[in-house]
A and B are shown apart, each in its own frame.
Chain A
Amino acid sequence: MSADLGGMTVETVLGRWPFAAQFLQEKGLANVLDRPDTALDVVVDPTVLQDMAAFIAEMEAFLGSGEEPVRELTIKGGRAKDGSPEPVAELTARAGEVLCIVGPTGSGKSRLLADIEWVARGDTPTGRHVLINGEVPDNRWRGGSGMHLVAQLSQNMNFVMDLSVRDFLSLHAESRQAPEPLEKIERIATWANELAGEPFAMDTPITSLSGGQSRALMIADIAVLSASPVVLIDEIENAGIDRRQALDILIQQEKIVLMATHDPILALMGDRRVVIGGGAMTKVIAPSAGERANLVELKALDARLMELRRRLRAGEVLDQI
């Protein structure tokens, strides 16, 4: 491909692959952009041309992934740690569904999530197979095109870049080559502000957002801009964000949400619970009507605890609760 690329004019190349401009800038060749009528091989040397061809091919694969959305993910059971067949032989999660993963430490929760992330083909310790839209997916999802099936969100994450909210979101949109970036950035900010309840301005540095604001921004950003169809949530802390609404945003964007949690409220918010034990999926529970009804009571309990926390913080005494 690099041969034909060299013969094209700068203008043709940029017309066909707008993201090539970003590549040239990265290579310190921004001046090439000012010479639209010149053949590329006149202004760019052969090794750079070769890299550019590879970059274009990878970007095409990366962007092309949008063509067929991930509608469902199927896990075909393998074997437990003791070698016995996995009790749950098949599990399918659909876009817009929330699955909770529960089980004691060492039971194999992280392994299950890693199997999904690696799109296992019987080549992990569990012998599981993962299918996308019912088919064995190609290698693309194994990091080959920088594609990753799973986006992650955990309590330990912090923003580290020295950028304002606006610049940060623009940078992410740009790296994703997202269409209509401005609309997306606005939407992320609006949702994040709703989730956090304490509004922040677009020019706030991301590193000075509060815990709740950071988490809210991370969730809204994953919903709108992340390339990954599956979102893995490792507990969302109770403080500072509306967790139901957070899940709703992800569901609305057709994400498959996997949530490792032992918080009863979050667990009952899931559509199904996958129980892990001995390295295997041992059963899948759909919350019964009874369980769902208890959610109301749990939320009331939770609200009371939150109120007590607020009072403590305000310096009150808790002799009356």
Chain B
Amino acid sequence: MRFVTVSGPPAVGKTAVIIKTLEHIQGEGHKVGVVKFDCLATEDDVLYRKRGIPVRKGLAGALCPDHYFVSNVEECVQWGLATGLDMLVSESAGLCNRCSPHIRGVLAVCVIDNLSGTDAPRKIGPMLKAADVVVITKGDIVSQAEREVFAARVRMVNPQASILHVNGITGQGSYELGTLWSGTRETATVEGLKLRFSMPAALCSYCLGETRIGADYQLGNVRKMDLDLPTGAKTDGGPGGEP
């Protein structure tokens, strides 16, 4: 089975692009499926199912969504194999930009749109930087010049990637993206493979459900900003003022 990880900020067109691309691959007689990762809620599974694409969804809920992804990805691959898929695609939403679900040895695709502003490629981080293929969507509604400037910014952040323009609505460019997906190698397991980027180091009281603010409640991996506060300013007072 071929396995492709697709990531990108919310609403850039990941689902639209995956659907258009998988339609071509389905059309060639291959069985395709999707696992969708999100934080709190998603309706994407309905969209996939409507097109006859088997889908499983995972909601991270209170957990860090990227940690949730790595903890479940091997089981997803096994689900794909058990379902008899020829191609499995994972869709994960943008999450925190500090992370990326990309795995060494598995084709990594990052989707971003032309509307996200020229600084976006730099801000998006590992998700974009560590991708093999960068898909840029929504080129139909901005000028050619803006497309070129945006693509140049992407190239600056990730010079090695193939950059493809795909229209999530008409599907223009999706056939071509599909040839890259079909050309990737077979994956039988991701066990033992490594993430391209380490996940953020974080285990603090807030990870464990703390909601109160103040130094007294902050345990574990906590780091303070350097704000140059004047001496005497309250920096460690904990909960102050009226109860």
Contacts and interface: CB of A to CB of B under 8 A. Distances in A.
A130 interface: no
A159 B159 contact: no
A154 interface: yes
Contacts of A168: 145
Contacts of B164: 143
Contacts of B165: 143, 148
A241 to B, nearest CB: 15
Interface in B136-166: 139-149, 151-157, 159-160, 162-165
A110 B172 CA distance: 8
By size class, the interface of chain B is 35 or more
A296 interface: no
A23 B156 CA distance: 7
B152 to A, nearest CB: 4
Given A57-B159, A143-B163, A157 B175 contact: no
Contact of B175 (A114, A158, A221): A114
Interface of A: 22-23, 26, 51, 54-55, 57-58, 62, 110, 114, 117-118, 123-125, 142-146, 148, 151-154, 156-161, 168-169, 171-172, 175-176, 214, 218, 221-222, 225-228
Nearest to A148: B165
A54 B155 CA distance: 10
Nearest to A157: B143
B143 A146 contact: no
Given A118-B176, A124-B175, A161-B118, A218 B155 contact: no
A309 B162 CA distance: 47
B156 A22 contact: yes
6 contacts: A142-B162, A151-B144, A157-B142, A159-B146, A171-B118, A221-B145
Contacts of B159: 51, 54-55, 57-58
A109 to B, nearest CB: 11
Nearest to B138: A160
B148 A176 contact: yes
A161 B170 CA distance: 24
B151 A54 contact: no
B139 A161 contact: no
A265 B50 CA distance: 43
Contact of B148 (A23, A58, A227): A227
B173 interface: yes
Contacts of A227: 148
A235 to B, nearest CB: 13
Contacts of B154: 146
B175 A54 contact: no
B141 A175 contact: no
